[in-house]
Amino acid sequence: MKLFKLQNLFVIILAVLAGFATFSGIHTRDNSPPYYFKSIRGQDVLIYGKGLYKHMSADVAIQGIAQDYITLFVAIPLLLLSLILINKGHRLWKYIFTSIIGYFLITYLMYLNMAMYNRFFLIYIAVLGLSFFALINRLINDSNDNFNVTKNENHIFENAGKFLMVNALLIGLLWLSVVVPPLIDGSIVPLAVAHYTTLTVQGIDLSLLLPLSFIAGYLAWKNKPRGYYFTLIYCMTLTLLMTALSSKIIFMAREGVSVIPAIFIIPTITLTALYFSIKMLRSLKK
């Protein structure tokens, strides 16, 4: 089987499995009430108590459902649309396709490590594996692309690179403000750990995603073609991830959770990433 046809098969299977998992996450409900659970550290944690995410803390379960909506109604349709268009030879859509694959990789890396064990464990594994190998395939195929944009257009990539660097530093400081104070006062474990084993989101961000954001942005700022490529992909992936995070904030606000200042910060990051994504794609089209 040709590699390109194998990629198509991988993506279709990925979309079907992710669609099944997200639909179930949204619609599996029962009348079980939330309840408090005392963690091994003695912390009383409010457990969601119903549906696919019934063993997760209430705030995290709500966020999972919010992200399922974005994955099901935005990411999966965009994934399939971009697959159709790159098969028809639309060059720029392959970058959109790569960024969406990146979204699935990051999302299901988080789900696999953070979601309490449920009946979709093997599906999470499959989606993560398929998205990983699909992303590697795209990165290899795109490795020879010419990103020597004109001098009139390179300022767009430079500014996008600066945005990624600043965003990486600010989010990094935010996560360190969660992790470091308990180390200083001796309590060691932040309250956000709840009944989980660790801070998965903060760990993956600080170790992988934020350094990648900073390096890609720095290379673009220094007018390196490879930096242009990764800045474009990262900005588009970030747009989808921040859209999901905006959805989470809305769902949490509906439950009466205070979402200030996040309700202002996250949509701003989303719109900024979207702005630079569109500007960079237009510059490549020219």
- Residue 271 is predicted with a pLDDT of 97
- Here the tokens at position 151 are 């001098």
Top pLDDT among 160 and 145 is at 160
- Residue 3 is predicted with a pLDDT of 54
Q: Using an 8 Å Cβ cutoff, are 223 and 158 in contact? A: yes
End-to-end CA distance of the chain: 35
Cα separation values, 284 from 35, 90, 277, 278, Å: 53, 13, 11, 10
Radius of gyration in angstroms for the set of CA atoms belonging to the chain, rounded to a whole number: 20
Q: Using an 8 Å Cβ cutoff, are 215 and 235 in contact? A: no
- Residue 205 is predicted with a pLDDT of 97
Q: Is the pLDDT of residue 187 over 80?
A: yes
Domain boundaries, the chain: 3-285
Q: What is the DSSP letter of 34?
A: P
Burial class (CB in 10 A: 0-12, 13-18, 19+), 81: middle
Q: Quick one: which of 98, 83, 89 has its CA closest to 138?
A: 98
* Cα–Cα dist 243/266, whole Å: 8
**pTM of this structure:** 0.94
- 190-222 pLDDT, tens digit per residue, is 999 999 999 999 999 999 999 999 999 999 999
Mean pLDDT, the chain, rounded, equals 92
Lowest-pLDDT range, 9-23, 149-163, 193-207? 149-163
Percent of the chain with pLDDT over 70: 99
- Residue 4 is predicted with a pLDDT of 62
Q: Quick one: which of 199, 7, 141 has its CA closest to 84?
A: 7
- Residue 1 is predicted with a pLDDT of 45
- Residue 32 is predicted with a pLDDT of 84
- 77-130 pLDDT, tens digit per residue, is 999 999 999 999 898 999 999 999 999 999 999 999 988 999 999 999 999 999
Q: What is the mean pLDDT of residues 55-69?
A: 94
Helical segments of the chain, H only:
3-27, 58-70, 76-87, 93-114, 121-142, 154-185, 200-204, 210-221, 225-254, 262-285
Q: Which residues contact 70 (CB under 8 A, 6 or more apart)?
A: 240, 243, 244, 247
- Residue 207 is predicted with a pLDDT of 97
DSSP three-state, residue 57: strand
Sequence length of the chain is: 286
- Residue 2 is predicted with a pLDDT of 55
Q: What is the mean pLDDT of residues 239-243?
A: 97
